[in-house]
Amino acid sequence: KLAVGLLLVLLIVLFWLLRQNEADEQRTTLIADVLWLEQSINFHLEGNTEQLQQLANDLVQEKNKSALFELRSQNLMNNNPDLQQLIWIDASAQVISALPTQRLPRLGTSEPGEDIQLRSLEMASKLGKTVYTDAYRTDDAHQIEVYSPIFESGQYRGSLISVYSLTSMLKHMVPWWFAEKYQVRILDGNGNTLASKSKISNAATAISYDIPFD
């Protein structure tokens, strides 16, 4: 009886160790996958931001500024489905040109995101570098905006604003195999879901991993 009891205990311990090892391996894989996705999205955003900042620099030198803006902006939007709109504003925040033509919540309106936009515009003009806004809600989804300031001889001349949909970003940036394996969510500081993508159930899981997405 003692031998049988010890054997059962050993089997239970072995089973627990195997389960623990499997859980550790799953968590290690999860962390590696999440880090990969975060780096991919950051690389995507930073690549677009570099192109917009280069466009901001080129607009100062170019004579036919409107044609240059439309050509570069159309190319960026064709290659980035998550990019909803590109806006060129002057130093007084008046729109010079924008693509496409559909209206989105903008500066100087009473719609959601106005305070975020004005604060970010002020930061971009004073700091002289690209500024990312906090997410804000529109009728359809949550958006973020990226402000690329335009300077000429040290004087602020305006900004290029790129508007991204978080839902579209996940839709196009999260691969199908990732969505079949995980529930992917972008959360705000209070834990509210701003955007998500997954092909599995929303049932609670014991294995998860959060990473700051500044």
What is the CB neighbour count within 10 angstroms for residue 110? 6
Give the mean pLDDT of the chain.
84
Residues of the chain with pLDDT under 70: 17-18, 20-23, 101-114, 202-206
DSSP strand E in 126-168: where?
A: 131-132, 136-137, 142-152, 155-165
Which pLDDT does position 23 carry in this prediction? Answer: 66
Q: Note the pLDDT of residue 10.
A: 79
| The token pair that represents 38 in the structure block | 């975060």
Return the half-sphere exposure (C-beta side, CA atoms, 13 A cut-off) of residue 132. 12
Longest dimension (CA), the chain: 94
In sequence order, the β-bridge partners of residue 149 are 159
What was the pLDDT predicted at 206? 67
CA dist., res. 107 & res. 109, Å (int): 6
pLDDT digits (tens, 9 = 90+) for 120-142: 888 888 888 899 988 888 777 88
Contacts of 5 (CB under 8 A, 6+ apart): none
pLDDT of residue 11: 78
